Amino acid sequence: MSENLGNEELARLDKQFIWHPFTQMAGWLADEPLIIAAGEGSYLIDVKGRRYLDGVSSLWVNVFGHRRAEIDRAVTDQLSRIAHSTFLGLSNVPAIRLAKELVAVAPKGLDKVFYSDNGSTAVEVALKMAFQFWQQTGNIRKTRFISFANGYHGDTLGSVSVGGIDLFHKTYRPLLFNSIKVNSPYCYRCHLGKTYPACDMACLSEVEETMAKHQGEMAAIVIEPLIQGAAGMLTFPPGYTKKVRDLAAENGILFIADEVATGFGRTGAMFACDLEGIEPDLMAVAKGITGGYLPLAATLTTRKVFDAFCGEYREQKTFFHGHTYTANPLACAAALASLEIFRKENVIAGLGEKVAFLKNGLTCFRDLNHTGDIRQLGLMVGIELVADRKTREPYPIEAMTAVRVVKEARKNGLIIRPLGDVMVLMPPLSIGFKELGKLLDITYNAIRKVTET
């Protein structure tokens, strides 16, 4: 039907009927919307036929490019069988096969897969499972959570309760449960005023002391392993996450790894946890699980957690949680095809070269006058723009610096989306070297144009 509508009509209808997420709609209504009609490999194509490099993998989800033949085929094949049947009281073929594959690639010890349909729900599930686990194992005082400043785990109220980004979360504070917040290592703006590595990760003592003090009432600690994505790609010092994991184990606190952003190759490993040999008690995945095709999420956990929910029907130990589209067969089929590409093409082993290329290409960004910090983990990049490099003073919010950089990049055929004044780059894993070069060039020139002229 959309083909019958002219582009101007589409734009008009968008403005008339749609409320976009994380978008100041007054600004949106004043602009011309970019309307995507198609995709091909690393490119998005708009209704006017213009091509744009997808520099943030369609918000961190796309893995092997758009219209990847094997995934397209898997979804259409599944469509010829069934699009959806309920997972409450029934099972389905691709969901069973996928659970086996997920367990095979997941960190050791994660043996059980609970499906949902987005990152926020995968985290909600982990929180509720952790809470209920202690209730059903005779530790009823263990009801609270430790989470991190600058953390982001989604937009539902449970996930927001363990979030730590004031801009997104503070409005809702009266609605939230009270989690204990500890500082996260934002080394560029260290809250202790120290410098890595001389600091010897002094920030860990706060985590250590908080755990020791509250262990009797703590159900779990929730963390984005190795890198806080939505806060602006804040990379942790090596070994930090592993130390937090070990402390959690020592204190009898469950460790929830939120791999929603980092999972499926983004960090250069299958999961960020793999980079430090971390075995979480619970792990939330979403985004890249389907190769970026369809909404699907999963919370993986251990046999030990699972067993605490098994019992006689009358004991009511059941996990009373489930979403209507849980384990949607089309999404599971896409995920299976995506995992198959990982395996067949030995994708993780091949990422090193791209990660190094990106790292190398980012070095010249240090010559720009307003790049304060450049952070990278695998194919996840954050370039923090500042008004003053010496003092690290941020730009005033009304300058809309990053937004202007995004607009400039768009004029030159690149889609990126900032976080505050951090320019985020997160290309699909399948991006070619030529396209990576283009991504770097356009971003560099856009930053220079906006901040230096």
Query: Which parts of this chain interact with ligand PMP (CB under 6 A)?
Result: 118-120, 123, 152-154, 224, 229-230, 258, 260-261, 286
User: Least distance from C-beta 226 to ligand PMP, angstroms?
Assistant: 11
Measured torsion, CA atoms of residues 119, 125, 128, 133, in degrees rounded to the nearest 10: -130
122 or 218: CB nearest ligand PMP: 122
- Which of residues 101 and 224 has its CB atom nearest to ligand PMP in the complex? 224
- Least Å distance, CB 43 to ligand PMP, is 22
Instruction: For ligand PMP, give the closer residue by CB, 286 or 351.
Output: 286
Secondary structure of residue 37 in the 3-state scheme: strand
Q: Which is nearer to ligand PMP, 94 or 119 (CB)?
A: 119
Q: Percent helix, strand, coil in the chain (nearest 5)?
A: 45, 15, 40
- Contacts with 166 (C-beta within 8 Å, 6 or more apart), sequence order: none
Q: What phi and psi values does residue 134 have, to the nearest 5 degrees?
A: -70, -35
Question: Which candidate, 134, 165, 122, places its Cα nearest to that of 147?
Answer: 165
> Closest distance between ligand PMP and the C-beta of residue 285, in Å?
10
Q: Rounded to the nearest whole angstrom, what is the least distance from the CB of residue 168 to ligand PMP in the complex?
A: 10
Residues in CB range of 334: below 8 A, 6 or more apart = 71, 74, 75, 290, 291, 293, 294, 296
Chain position carrying tokens 């500082």:
183
Nearer to ligand PMP, 258 or 421 (CB): 258
* 287-306: b (≥16 Cβ within 10 Å) or e: bbbbbbbbbbbbbbbbeebe
Nearer to ligand PMP, 125 or 442 (CB): 125
CB of 154 to ligand PMP, least distance (A): 3
Closest chain position to ligand PMP (CB): 119
> How far is the CA of 76 from the CAs of 1, 15, 34, 117, 334, in angstroms?
20, 32, 28, 20, 9
Q: How far is the CB of 117 from ligand PMP (least distance, A)?
A: 8
